[in-house]
Amino acid sequence: MLFIDARQTFRQIDRAHRDFTDEQLELLANIVRLYRGEEPELASVGNELFEQRFPEGTYTDVTGLCKVATIEEIEAQGWSLNPGRYVGTEVEDLEDEVFEEKLAAAQVELRGLSARAATLDAGVDKVLSELLARSVVIADEHAEPDPTDWISRDLGTPHMDLEDNEAVQPTFDRDR
């Protein structure tokens, strides 16, 4: 069974849309033709995609693009028909110096992103603290008034005078 993984063979139009160029469609169709033992149909002279992957003009498994899997291989994969399980991934061979440059650039980018994340985190904390402080003030303004609050506000602080075992009469500051 022929598996073709075309996830890396497309033209990105925008974030959500992709399509295939004529050269890419020709490559995919010719993979099937080669698998069937047919001659490839090359409409565009010098189809670079095709010539890079199939220089002999005969079908061969190409890591990251196509593979012929046996029934036994498919059974071993739990009967999964996901092409990525069989085709694999194309490994990019990097020279040590190029790898070190890419790694250093990634580290610089990571440090910048970490600093930006810390700044954003501090800003979010500040905004949330301000919002929480406002909500406490608003909650206090909308709180139910204490029903005994009018006593001290309107009459002053109550006092009890206890002299000579007489009847207790409450008096208020304004009465004194």
- How long a stretch of residues is the chain? 176
Q: Are residues 103 and 63 in the same domain?
A: no
Q: Which is higher by pLDDT, 134 or 82?
A: 82
Q: Are residues 55 and 113 in the same domain?
A: no
CA distances 126 to 123, 130, 146, Å, are 5, 6, 33
> Which of 55, 87, 119 is where one domain is finished?
87
CA distances 15 to 11, 12, 18, 19, Å, are 11, 7, 8, 12
Q: Are residues 6 and 73 in the same domain?
A: yes
Domain around 19: 2-87
Q: Are residues 56 and 101 in the same domain?
A: no
Structural domains counted in the chain = 3
Q: Are residues 175 and 154 in the same domain?
A: yes
75-94 tens-digit pLDDT? 999 999 999 889 888 666 66
Which tokens in the block code for residue 35?
């698998």
Question: Residue 109 has what pLDDT?
Answer: 92
d(CA 138, CA 132): 10
Q: Are residues 150 and 171 in the same domain?
A: yes
**Taking 80 as the threshold, does the pLDDT of residue 141 lie above it?**
no
The residue-averaged pLDDT of 89-103 equals 74
Which tokens in the block code for residue 28?
């995919």
> Which of 87, 104, 123 is where one domain is finished?
87
Task: Name the one residue in this structure whose structure tokens are 């069937």.
Answer: 36
Q: Are residues 9 and 59 in the same domain?
A: yes
Question: Residue 55 has what pLDDT?
Answer: 87
Which tokens in the block code for residue 113?
């992103």
Question: Residue 73 has what pLDDT?
Answer: 94
**Taking 70 as the threshold, does the pLDDT of residue 167 lie above it?**
no
Q: Mean pLDDT in the chain?
A: 81
**Taking 60 as the threshold, does the pLDDT of residue 155 lie above it?**
no
Q: Which is higher by pLDDT, 142 or 122?
A: 122
Among 17-31, 107-121, 139-153, 157-171, the minimum mean pLDDT is found in 157-171
> Which of 51, 67, 87 is where one domain is finished?
87
The residue-averaged pLDDT of 120-146 equals 79
Cα torsion angle, 52, 56, 58, 61, sign: negative
Q: Are residues 7 and 83 in the same domain?
A: yes
pLDDT category at 169 given cuts 50, 70, 90 is low
The three state secondary structure string of the chain is CEEECCCCCCEECCCCCEECCHHHHHHHHHHHHHHHCCCCCCCCCCCHHHHHHCCCCCCCCECCCEEECCHHHHHHCCCCCCHHHHHCCCCCCCCHHHHHHHHHHHHHHHHHHHHHHHHHHHHHHHHHHHHHHHHHHHHHHCCCCCCCHHHHHHHCCEEEECCCCCCCEEEEHHHC
**Whole-number percent of the chain with pLDDT over 70:** 73
Is the pTM higher than 0.75? The answer reads no
Q: Are residues 132 and 149 in the same domain?
A: no
**By the 8 A CB rule, do 18 and 102 touch?**
no
In the chain the first and final C-alpha atoms are separated, in Å, by 106
